Structure 1
Amino acid sequence: MEDRKGTPAPNHGTLIALAKHYLAQRRQRDRYFPGTLFADPAWDVLLDLYVAGLENRRVSVSNVCLAAAVPTTTALRWIGLLEEEGLVQRFDDPGDRRRAYLQLAPHASNSVRDWLLNTFGSAGATQ
């Protein structure tokens, strides 16, 4: 399988590893500087949902709030904005009406993938 530029498409394992490594680096930075100094909840939500999508995991709204690494009310506000922008989709849990799940819209997933590859390069992405 090739991407639009004719280069081999990256495998899911490599993309998951890139995203998880980047998220871990962001959390590690919080050990050296105040976490609120570099808060970027929208980006953390997008990255967390990207990994979940590649791993075929459902992620509840409450778990996404934790991944955002900001107060719950702040995370919910950002999730709402991401939904309004069409980047995140919400699905109710048919077994528990109190719970909802989030996932990236397909175009948002493609954008996160492209950013990861552009930022970190595709070296080794096809292994």
Structure 2
Amino acid sequence: MAQGVKMGSFGVAYNKETRIAVPFVVGDAGPAIGEGSVALARLAAGLAIKDPIQRGERYEGQVDAKRVLWIYFKDAPAPYDSTKEAATVQNAKDAFQAWGGEARLALCVQQVPRN
């Protein structure tokens, strides 16, 4: 994992094309920053969460692209329990609001280079 990003860290994935922000919690380790669940990808793209998804839908809303801005919050990670989805979602939303929510996100987006 990247420096400072630990299991249970919270953040927000912001799709610059759809202008949708999706709070998240780091639930596992991958080879690179910028990977996320199918649900995260679909939400950031403005698509409904589906379970199961069809083979042809598996790449819809991918988040490992330049159009997605990843912001991780510096607060201490929280214990992650995959069996308590509603609590995890609420904790991620609360962390986003404590960080500054939509207002702070708008300031960050203005400062991101457009390349």
Whose helix fraction is larger, Structure 1's or Structure 2's?
1
